[in-house]
Amino acid sequence: MLSPSPQSKRTPEFTTHNNIADCMERALLEDGHCLWGFVIYRCAYDNNDVAWSRLLQALRRYAHETLAYYRRLDMLDRFQLTVVEDEAKLNSASTSVVRDHFREWAAAPDTVARDQGAVEASPGLSQRYNEGGEEGGGDPGEEGDECFVDLIWKDWEPSVPHPRERPMEAIEGCTRPDVGWMRTGIRGVIVEMYEALRDQNAWYGEYRRPMSWYAGEGCGDSRG
């Protein structure tokens, strides 16, 4: 008979395994990492620096609100968003371009990647920001609720489909069900999704294929 999970010291109404922040703290200890957080790639510019700033503020605000709910604001001391901006290389970049850049960043010996676990994590994730127009990113507004990010699986590679598999509508040239990235709202991505995707199998449960019309046209793999 399994013993019951202990109660969380910070939130006694939850077991410690139902307190997401407690789970993140254990994961950092088990994996030997000092920091947690995502790498954020800005892939839309269009002179909209205000919208971009609001997006980053909203991500940090939702991280604070979620950790406050679990009474683990101490985890903010180990939270880090690594922001990558390079208009010449990343403006309207495809996911393959962002993925390749992230792999190089994660492998470099002088980055924060090893403290964050980006090298070992599978799936390893980066985030790509789209801020509207043809990409459909939404306007962050004052609260940022309308924004989304694209979560990109670092280790995804195109695979050969089964002969009986019916091709789906192409997204960035891929007709497989899993195109290696998914679009999600920003409210739950920083804490809840980060904790969930530590499990390498969680991607398949969380994954939702982007609708091709919503993923933006003209962002094919040929750009990478």
Q: pLDDT of 129-151, one tens digit each? A: 433 222 334 454 455 456 788 89
Residue 11 confidence (pLDDT) above 90: no
Evaluate whether 16 touches 6 at the Cβ level (below 8 Å). Answer: yes
Least confidently predicted of 54-63, 64-73, 135-144: 135-144
Residue 110 confidence (pLDDT) above 90: no
Tell me the whole-structure pTM to 2 decimals.
0.79
116-130 pLDDT per residue, tens? 655 444 444 444 543
Q: What is the CA radius of gyration of the chain?
A: 18
Q: How far apart are CA 169 and CA 45, in angstroms?
A: 28
